[in-house]
């Protein structure tokens, strides 16, 4: 905000008291909460970002230097977390400090760019691969952690939120794992495991406890993560990194961290929330109430005169609503709440029969097309209904069907037993009449009633003959007149004498006489049919 200093005696003696008000008017200042353009620059209140410049209210992290931007030096190689101000190399296994001013990571483990906040981040390993890269055998307990003493303690029994960004190099080098947030009651426990690169996680030493953990997974990206924390004791230092599980890596497992924000959960909630009916006069906007703060509400950057409480009632007009929050030593603006009256849309697809009509938008409609009506919901919101109306076609469908001579085919409420062409009127699902032309025919199947297995090459076996419609003879069974099973087979080739019954039983010729057969057939309509009859064996 612009500040103007003046000396009344000087102005009074030089200009005269009668010209003093005129002199002040020549140097106007924007007053940021009166809904007027005081300095005549066309910008009112918060829209005048020069005179009315308050930062957006964001949580103040208890972790110092949360985005790794403040430096003691520019990192030139790996393992230089000491170059990042206020951060402590928590473990003997060293984390890496990356910054655009210098070292930007391992060539085979590139970070996803850009960084979420600013120009710095840290990288850490979970386990160390052996061989040419790590040297010797894989080291499952090589775990790297970054730590810091907090700007103020986490109070026992108070709810906090820890928001941070996790980065993944390619999925091969950043497989799914768990990231853990550790805490300790005294900064004396930082660093831990001094002199022992295989110390592992903080819990392997005194003074540390787990505050929260999350499973993470990704590839070539940054992800915003959140851990809720309510400590049982006051916490004055933290460390973050992998979990305590030992798992020998098959390659370099590597991850990144940026913008670690740890604050009272109420600070994250210091934003406008809405309740009530957004379409009527009952919408209410709220922010948390604090006795030590002063509030001023704005719509589209212009002050709402008299609205100086933590709650704004009766919001009707669409726009962006904000609150200026004044504390003893600070000024903050909440992120904007965009109020837009919702409009509900519904699309209806409907088909009517010819010579019928539908009633829509207080009109009888009988033509195909798209029609729109605007209604109101019980809550007073607009509801736009779109009707896509179609007329049912009267095209004739032709249906080809085959049955056996002994069968009946039913279509609609009619039955058919003889081949031929038939016009059938049906009622469709939409209630309209539909014309179907049925073409009915028989499957061509011949089953002989006698055979003579005498080796003369004529009728020497019993089988079935059929046209193209028969797909498979699933099973053929022959019984004598007392019901005894004489022959059984399956998967016969239709029309082949070599594939049927040859008139024998267990390798011996069966006596002449009448035998009963049963057969299971599959036709090209996919149906399986059971047939039975008799055949005479002649000798």
Is 324 within the bounds of a domain? yes
**Which pLDDT does position 187 carry in this prediction?**
97
In a domain, 2, yes or no: no
Which of 251, 267, 283 is the last residue before a domain boundary? 267
The reply to whether 157 and 219 lie within a common domain is yes
The Cα 260–Cα 25 span in angstroms is 48
Is there a contact between 139 and 131 (Cβ–Cβ < 8 Å)?
no
**Which residue from 268, 318, 310 is spatially nearest to 285, judged by alpha carbons?**
310
- State mean pLDDT over 309-325: 92
* Distance of alpha carbon 495 from alpha carbon 480, whole angstroms: 23
Q: At 429, is the pLDDT very low, low, confident or very high (cuts 50, 70, 90)?
A: low
Q: Is residue 75 part of a domain?
A: no
* 434 and 453 housed in the same domain: no
- Residue 274 sits in a domain whose CATH number is 2.60.40.10
pLDDT value for 539: 82
Q: Specify the CATH number for the domain of residue 199.
A: 2.60.120.260
Neighbours of 451 (CB within 10 A): 21
137 lies in the same domain as 285: no
Residue 61 inside a domain? The answer is no
- In this structure, are 502 and 358 located in the same domain? no
pLDDT of residue 362: 85
**Residues, the chain, total?**
539
- The answer, yes or no, to whether residue 136 has pLDDT greater than 90, is no
**Mean pLDDT for the stretch of residues 243-253:** 85
> In the chain, what is the straight-line distance between the N-terminal and C-terminal CA atoms, in Å?
122
Last residue of a domain, one of 303, 319, 339: 339
- Is 86 in the same domain as 138? yes
Examine the domain organization and report whether 163 and 260 are in the same domain. yes
Q: Higher-confidence residue: 231 or 251?
A: 231
Count of C-beta atoms within a 10 Å radius of residue 122: 26
CATH number at residue 459: 2.60.40.1220
The domain tally of the chain equals 6
Please report where in the chains the tokens 């037993």 appear, as a residue: 417
User: How many CA within 13 A on the CB side of residue 112?
Assistant: 22
Which of 313, 233, 319 lies closest to 281, judged by CA?
313
What pTM did the predictor assign? Answer: 0.49
Instruction: Categorize the per-residue pLDDT at 506 as very low, low, confident or very high, splitting at 50, 70 and 90.
Output: confident
Taking only the tens place, the pLDDT of each residue in 383-419 is: 888 899 888 766 678 889 999 988 999 988 899 999 9
Q: Which of 166-175, 235-244, 339-348, 462-471 has the highest mean predicted lDDT (pLDDT)?
A: 235-244
Confidence band of 152 (pLDDT split at 50, 70, 90): very high
Alpha-carbon distances of 363 from 74, 360, 373, 431, rounded to whole Å: 76, 5, 11, 22
Output 535 or 54, whichever has higher pLDDT.
Answer: 535
Domain residues for 301?
270-339
Alpha carbons 324 and 314: distance in angstroms, whole number: 19
Residues 100 and 168 in one domain: yes
Residue 74 domain-assigned?
no
Question: Checking phi first, is residue 417 left (phi over 0); if not, alpha (psi -120 to 50) or beta?
Answer: alpha
Is residue 164 a part of any domain in this protein? Answer: yes
- Domain-located, residue 24: yes
**Residue 429 and residue 334 share a domain:** no
- Residues 458, 483, single domain; the answer is yes
Maximal C-alpha separation, the chain = 150
Q: How far apart are CA 290 and CA 58, in angstroms?
A: 16
* pLDDT at 422 > cutoff 80: yes
Of 416, 280, 292, 384, the C-alpha closest to 339 is 280
The answer to the question of residue 525 being in a domain is yes
Give yes or no: residues 94 and 186 share one domain.
Answer: yes
Q: Which residue has the higher pLDDT, 168 or 382?
A: 168
CB-count burial class (<10 Å; 0-12, 13-18, 19+) for 370: exposed
> Are 228 and 261 in a shared domain?
yes
Mean predicted confidence (pLDDT) in 174-182: 95
Q: Are residues 433 and 496 in the same domain?
A: no
pLDDT of residue 493 exceeding 80: no
Beta-bridged to residue 143, according to DSSP, are: 126
């Amino acid at each position: 905000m612009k500040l103007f200093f003046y000396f009344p005696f000087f102005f009074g003696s030089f200009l005269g008291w009668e010209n003093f008000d005129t002199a002040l008017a020549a140097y106007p200042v924007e007053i940021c909460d009166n809904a007027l353009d005081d300095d005549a620059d066309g910008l009112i209140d918060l829209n005048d970002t020069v005179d009315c410049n308050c930062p957006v209210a964001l949580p103040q992290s208890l972790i110092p230097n949360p985005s790794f931007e403040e430096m003691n030096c520019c990192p030139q190689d790996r393992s230089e977390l000491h170059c990042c101000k206020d951060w402590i190399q928590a473990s003997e296994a060293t984390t890496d400090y990356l910054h655009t001013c210098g070292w930007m990571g391992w060539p085979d483990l590139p970070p996803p760019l850009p960084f979420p906040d600013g120009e710095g981040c840290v990288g850490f390993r979970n386990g160390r691969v052996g061989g040419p890269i790590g040297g010797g055998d894989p080291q499952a307990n090589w775990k790297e952690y970054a730590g810091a003493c907090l700007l103020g303690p986490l109070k026992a029994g108070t709810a906090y939120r820890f928001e941070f960004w996790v980065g993944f190099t390619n999925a091969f080098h950043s497989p799914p794992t768990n990231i853990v947030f550790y805490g300790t009651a005294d900064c004396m426990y930082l660093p831990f495991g001094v002199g022992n690169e295989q110390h592992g996680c903080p819990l392997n030493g005194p003074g540390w406890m787990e505050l929260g953990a999350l499973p993470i997974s990704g590839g070539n990206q940054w992800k915003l993560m959140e851990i809720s924390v309510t400590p049982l004791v006051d916490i004055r230092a933290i460390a973050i990194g992998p979990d305590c599980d030992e798992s020998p890596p098959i390659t370099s497992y590597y991850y990144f961290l940026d913008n670690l924000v740890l604050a009272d959960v109420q600070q994250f909630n210091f934003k406008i929330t809405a309740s009530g009916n957004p379409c009527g006069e009952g919408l209410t906007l709220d922010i948390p109430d604090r006795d030590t703060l002063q509030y001023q509400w704005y719509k589209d950057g212009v002050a709402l005169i008299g609205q100086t409480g933590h709650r704004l009632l009766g919001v009707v007009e669409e726009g962006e609503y904000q609150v200026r929050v004044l504390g003893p030593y600070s000024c903050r603006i909440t992120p904007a709440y965009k109020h837009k009256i919702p409009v509900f849309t519904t699309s209806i697809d409907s088909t009517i029969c010819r010579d019928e009509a539908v009633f829509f938008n207080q009109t009888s409609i009988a033509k195909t097309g798209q029609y729109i009506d605007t209604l109101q919901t019980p809550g007073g919101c607009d509801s736009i209904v779109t009707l896509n109306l179609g007329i049912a076609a009267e095209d004739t469908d032709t249906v080809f069907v085959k049955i056996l001579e002994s069968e009946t085919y039913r279509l609609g409420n009619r039955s058919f037993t003889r081949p031929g062409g038939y016009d059938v009127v049906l009622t469709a699902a939409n209630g309209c009449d539909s014309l179907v032309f049925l073409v009915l025919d028989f499957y061509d199947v011949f089953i002989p009633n006698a055979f003579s297995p005498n080796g003369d090459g004529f009728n020497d076996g019993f089988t079935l003959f059929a046209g193209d419609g028969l797909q498979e003879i699933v099973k053929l069974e022959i019984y004598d007149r007392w019901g005894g099973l004489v022959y059984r087979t399956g998967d016969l080739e239709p029309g082949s004498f070599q594939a049927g019954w040859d008139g024998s039983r267990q390798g011996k010729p069966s006596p002449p006489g009448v035998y009963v057969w049963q057969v299971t057939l599959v036709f090209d309509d996919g149906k399986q049919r059971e047939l039975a009859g008799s055949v005479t064996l002649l000798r």
